[in-house]
Structure 1
Amino acid sequence: MQRRRWPVDKGHHHHQRTWPPGSDGTQRPRPFASLPMSSHASKRGLTVARTGKKRSYWFGDENGGRREPAADFSSLPFDVLRKIAAAFSVTNLWAASGVCRAWREGLQPLREAVVLVRWGKRFKHGTGGVRRNVPKALETFLKAASRGCAAAMVDAGLIYWEMGKKDEGIALFREAALLGDPAGQCNLGLSCLQAEPPNLKEAVNLFYEAASRGNTRAQYSLALCLQQGRGVERDLPKAARWYLKAALGGNPRAMYNASLCYSSGEGMPRSYQQARIWMKRAAESGHSKAQFEHGLNLFSEGKKLTSLLYFELALRSGEQNAAPIKEALLQQLPPASRDEAMSLADNWKPVRHHH
């Protein structure tokens, strides 16, 4: 019988859902399933010996000698396996599914959940040839969540939150957070800030956990708490570092605040050049205040057409301070330039800045 090969899903992935580093910044060991199946993995002390169709796993000492064989993968309880893999990326999930038959069978619910999450997003956003149907999206996410998928718990929790059913949303965020999902930890932290009374210390702890695992929204939120002294001692240099880390990860609000830190010298050395760079990136990413201020910078440089574009974008995003300057520019520019600026605004799309 021909052995079935599990396909790798190339059309869907979750950002930043890799095996997370520890809260102290050190890298946690990856599960054996995510290790490359080479003949020798010296750094991990793991040797893979292939005998026919069967693999044996041995722990080795520093001199290359063999010690006792590692526990057989198939002996790992399914419930433990699913809990470990709940926050895996799609790539790691399929890699783990190929380790052995027991893992393939144990992870089947999570592979099914990946497909359900994809359909849930289509229903939520009306993409992929389906009509937008939020109740159907919620139903689909909940089916995926029941299979142990942390990403689905977050997606379902967000819909509950938007529906005003905050308790149901928080319960799902908490479940995802317990599985080590950074988005779940971040959303649970944000809900702690909005609680009555707010639980500031728990929020900061959750932000630290998610931020250390690369979640840019948690990095931004942690920086904000450090800047304001909410739930943690005020520390401007540390806040600026987290703003910059989130900005490098592509968070527009962090880009804007990093620009302000550079321009004011708050928490980092003053640099007008860096301030303008990050203000421009925030504006290009769609931050309305940054679009207004970047427009002012362009106007001061005499770039009237481009400044009109950013004033128009800021105004469309609700930044009313841009209105009087936009009107003054419209009177100064010829009709062709005005039309060009409006056409550019109509076709404008945010730029994804990610380092």
Structure 2
Amino acid sequence: MRDEGADLAYGLYQRGLYLSAFAVATRLALENNAASQTLLGELYRFGLGVPRNVETALSWYELGARNGNRDAAFQAGILYLDGLGVEKNQEKAARYFEQAAEKGHVLALYNVGLLYLSGDVLEKNPEKAADALLKSAKLGNHDAQFAIATMHSEGKGVAKDEILATLYFGQAARGGHDTAEIEYATRLLKGIGIKSNPHDAALWFERAAERGNAIAQNRIAQLYRFAKGVEADPLKAATWHLISKDQGFEDSSLDAYVKKLEPELRLKAEAAARIWRPVRSPRP
């Protein structure tokens, strides 16, 4: 059922009319409207239309959580987990994350999964971790997709299954997770959990390389050197190696390769590496 009052308050908030949003949300919050209580938490937390007060924000988040709002529970958990303006309390953070996770909050599910994996706050339980991470992954969380892929690859908390691991690495990669892009590319190159496809592997390595990942830059340099998945291109091989090297990634075999190139080609690669800048494509 739609909450028209809260919709009005959030509409004002989204348009930057914070004082009006505060007025509407306050009236509804005092009537125990959980969504409006959560919105007041946001306004106080970030000082939007009211003086910034994280403790007051937390009190509204906690009230919203008690009234069943999963976003309020998650935000209360974040404040307690990081000690942002309030005393750090990981046990309370875990309880709020679990409350939000039970209502299907995608980021809360991810955090609960990590807490079960680490065993620092919740008792270590890889199976429960996998269950929470899988739910978050299926809701589209790319970090959770990467995590559950890793667990399937290692057989940790779930059955070892390289096909499923590659499937989830691919989902995370398509969502812009740069480490997943490299892992997925490696699996495409070697045929792990998927039919080998050096051409597609090269595309994924180059995508991550263009966004600044030094490991991917090294890998695509090697592919251009050995004509694997791409046509041999000494200039691109040398350029990507030099870019990767500038970021601290050492590769003595590529050092030797570049050193043996014609001086004119080497100078072109050095010039290209100097002017190169990463392409920043934010995750969806």
Same fold (TM over 0.5): yes
Q: Distance in 1 between matches of 2:183 and 2:40?
A: 41
Stretches of structure 1 that go unaligned for 5 or more consecutive residues are: 12-93, 121-135
Choose the corresponding residue for 1:186, options 105, 110, 114: 110
Aligned CA RMSD, in angstroms, stands at: 4.1
Q: Cα offset for 1:168? A: 5.6
Any idea what SS the aligned residue of 1:7 has? Answer: helix
Aligned partner of 2:273: which letter?
Answer: A
Is the contact made by 2:238 and 2:266 (CA closer than 8 Å) also made in structure 1?
no
Q: CA distance change for structure 1 residues 9 and 171 in 2, over 3 Å: closer, same or farther?
A: same
Is the contact made by 2:44 and 2:54 (CA closer than 8 Å) also made in structure 1?
no
Q: Distance in 2 between matches of 1:205 and 1:351?
A: 30
Q: CA distance change for structure 1 residues 244 and 348 in 2, over 3 Å: closer, same or farther?
A: closer
Q: Distance in 2 between matches of 1:143 and 1:191?
A: 24
Q: CA distance change for structure 1 residues 166 and 265 in 2, over 3 Å: closer, same or farther?
A: same
TM-score by length of 1: 0.56
Q: What is the number of equivalent residue pairs in this alignment?
A: 246
Q: Cα offset for 1:285? A: 3.6
Q: CA distance change for structure 1 residues 139 and 265 in 2, over 3 Å: closer, same or farther?
A: farther
Choose the corresponding residue for 2:244, options 314, 329, 335: 314
In the alignment, what sits opposite 1:7?
A: 12
1:111 and 2:39 equivalent? yes
Is the contact made by 1:252 and 1:286 (CA closer than 8 Å) also made in structure 2?
no
Q: Distance in 2 between matches of 1:241 and 1:174?
A: 27
Q: Distance in 2 between matches of 1:219 and 1:119?
A: 34
In the alignment, what sits opposite 2:270?
A: 338
Q: Deviations over 1:191-243 (max 9, x none)?
A: 22222774110110011111111111111111111111111111121121111
Q: Percent identity?
A: 20
1:73-222, aligned counterparts within 5 Å?
Answer: 106=33, 107-116=35-44, 142=58, 145-146=61-62, 147-148=64-65, 149-153=72-76, 155-156=78-79, 159-160=82-83, 167=91, 169-195=93-119, 198-222=124-148
Q: Cα offset for 1:187? A: 2.0
Bigger RCO (CA 8 Å, 6+ sep): 1
Q: Cα offset for 1:151? A: 4.9
Q: Distance in 2 between matches of 1:260 and 1:190?
A: 25
Q: Deviations over 1:174-198 (max 9, x none)?
A: 3432342211211221222222774
Any idea what SS the aligned residue of 1:187 has? Answer: helix
Stretches of structure 2 that go unaligned for 5 or more consecutive residues are: 66-71, 227-231
Q: Distance in 2 between matches of 1:172 and 1:339?
A: 53
Q: Deviations over 1:251-295 (max 9, x none)?
A: 112211211221122211111111111222222344332222122
In the alignment, what sits opposite 2:278?
A: 348
Any idea what SS the aligned residue of 2:14 has? Answer: coil
Q: Deviations over 1:119-178 (max 9, x none)?
A: 69xxxxxxxxxxxxxxx99768746643442452454356359x9975565444334323
